[in-house]
Amino acid sequence: MEIKKASKLDPKENLIFLITNEKELPITSFTKEELSFIKKELKNEQKQVEINRLNTYVFVVLCDKENDYKAAEKTRIAASNLLTTLNSKKIVSATVVGETHKITPFVEGIGLANYQFLKYFSDKKINTFNKLNYYTENKSDNIKEMEALVEAANFAKDLVNEPLSFLTATQLSKEIKNLGKNYGFKVEVLTKAKIEALKMGGLLAVNKGSIDPPTFSILEWKPAKVKNKKPIVLVGKGVVYDTGGLSLKPTPNSMDMMKCDMGGAAAVIGAMVAIAKNKLPYHVIVLVPATDNRPGGNAYVPGDVIKMYNGKTVEVLNTDAEGRMILADALSYADKYQPELVIDVATLTGAAANAIGHYGVVAMGNTPEKTMNKLKESGNNTFERIVEFPFWDEYNEQLKSSIADLTNLGNGAGGAITAGKFLENFTNAPYIHLDIAGPAFIKKQINYLSQGGTGVGVRLLYDFIKNY
C-alpha cells in the first residue's frame, strides 16, 4: 500500500476525518445537512460516520480523546474497521486528515490490516484499497517512519506464511541476503560445513533428521555514528518447520501450523529491516539459526547427549524441545561480539501460549529492572504487550541431568520458564527471552492482526531499540 503526504486537500478525493468530538469537525468541509447528520450519528454513539457524495465518500472516525497507548490502539482498530468498509465499497484511495498523534496509529492500523498473502491463490481476490494520503497541519510527523515499520512487519508475515515447500533453511538465508542488499545491512551466511567446523552441536542435532541442510545467518547494522559502544544482539528461532522430530506432534491444531515455528526469526529479520530503512543510530546484530525438525532415519533421539557450541552437554529428553537447542548455540555464538544486551525471540513453548493466549508476549530475563521496564513500555507503545514471568534460579533444579550438564526439558511445571532458564546457560551477556508462541500465528483475523503470521515482535523490538 502506498502512503504519501498530501500538501492540500483535494475535494475530488475520498476523505477520512479523525476527530475526538464534534467541535473538531471542519465545518467548511461539509454542508449544513451533512453536519447535522454527522452530529446526530455521533450523539447516537456511532464511532464511524459515512457520507456518500455519489462520486466520493467522506468518513468521520471518532477517536479517543486521550493521547496514550490505549487510545492509539483504539485508533489502530478503528482504522482496521474502516478498511473493511473501504474494500467492500471497492475504494482505491483516500486522504486521512487529523493531528499527527491520531494519524500515526491510523496509518499503522490500516497498513497492517490491509496485508494479504496471495502467492498461492490461482484466483487472487486483491483488496482494492492501495493508496492512503495523509494531511496534517503539524510541522513534524513520523508517518514515513511508520510506513517503513509496517512494511517490515508485513514482510515478517510473508516469511511466517510461506510453507516449507518454499521456505527451507537455505531459502530463508537467500531471502535474508536479498533484504540485506535492498536495505543496506551486512549479511553473512554460514553453511553446514562451517556450522560443523564450529561444532554447533544443538543446531546440527536438530538437523540430523532432515534432508535439507541448516544455515546460520548473521545480519549486522552499524552506521557511522552509533549511540551504543557494544552491540545489541537479537537472536531468532528459525525452525522453518517442526514435526517434533521423533517426539512427533499430533497433526490437528499442532503440526498443521508448524510452518510458523520460525516466527522468532521473522521478527528479528523484520526488526532489522525497519532499523536499517529508518537508519537508527544503533549497532545491532541479528543471528538466525535455521533448520527444519524431522523424524528422518538419522534423527536425534530422546536419550541422546549433545555437546553444544559452548562445550556444555545436554541430555535430550524430548526432540520437540528443539528450538532451545538451536537458540543455545546462537546465544553462545553471540558472546564473541561482547554484547551489552542479548534478546532472543522464539515461538518456544505451548506453556507460554496457554498462559496468556495471543494477547501478549511472555518475557523473562536477568537484565536490570530498568531494561525490562523499557521493553514493557515499548510493548505498550506497540500494543505487543509484555507479561514478565519470574526467572528464579530454583527453576534450574528441573534441568538437572544424571548423565550430562543439563536436560533440554523441565518436569512440566513452569515450562515456559524452564525453557528460558535452559537458554540462560548459554550466554554471558545481560539477557532477555521473549516467547511469542501465543501471538505469532492466529487462525482468524483479529482487528488489524492478519490471519496466519501476525509479524509480532517487529514493532516491539524496533520501538525498544529506537528508545534504548
58 and 158 together in one domain: no
pTM of the predicted protein model: 0.97
315 and 428 together in one domain: yes
Q: Output DSSP code: residue 372.
A: H
66 and 202 together in one domain: no
pLDDT above 80: residue 139: no
For the chain, give the mean pLDDT.
Answer: 97
155 and 290 together in one domain: yes
Range of the domain at 264: 147-466
Got the DSSP string for 70-106? Answer: HHHHHHHHHHHHHHHHHHHTT--EEEEES-HHHHHHH
Alpha-helix residue ranges (DSSP H) falling in 247-320: 263-277
179: nearest Cα among 148, 224, 213, 145: 148
CATH number for the domain including 30?
Answer: 3.40.220.10
Q: Residue 199 to residues 54, 192, 284: CA-CA distances in angstroms? A: 68, 10, 25
CATH number for the domain including 396?
Answer: 3.40.630.10
Last residue of a domain, which of 141, 162, 179?
141
How much of the chain exceeds pLDDT 90, in percent?
A: 94
Residues labelled catalytic: 249, 324
**Model confidence pLDDT, tens digit, residues 147-176:** 999 999 999 999 999 999 999 999 999 999
**Model confidence pLDDT, tens digit, residues 268-321:** 999 999 999 999 999 999 999 999 999 999 999 999 999 999 999 999 999 999
**Model confidence pLDDT, tens digit, residues 180-195:** 999 999 999 999 999 9
Confidence tier at 200 by pLDDT (50, 70, 90) = very high
Question: b/e string for 147-170 if b means 16 or more Cβ within 10 A?
Answer: bbbbbbbbbbbbbbbbebeebbbb
Q: What is the pLDDT of residue 412?
A: 79
419 and 435 together in one domain: yes
Q: Tell me what the mean pLDDT of segment 204-233 comes to.
A: 98
Q: Tell me what the mean pLDDT of segment 127-139 comes to.
A: 91
Last residue of a domain, which of 100, 119, 141?
141
Tally of domains in the chain: 2
54 and 72 together in one domain: yes
Q: What is the pLDDT of residue 255?
A: 94
Last residue of a domain, which of 79, 112, 141?
141
98 and 177 together in one domain: no
215 and 280 together in one domain: yes
225 and 356 together in one domain: yes
Confidence tier at 138 by pLDDT (50, 70, 90) = confident
284 and 154 together in one domain: yes
161 and 134 together in one domain: no
412 and 282 together in one domain: yes
Q: What is the pLDDT of residue 11?
A: 83
**Model confidence pLDDT, tens digit, residues 9-26:** 888 999 999 999 999 999
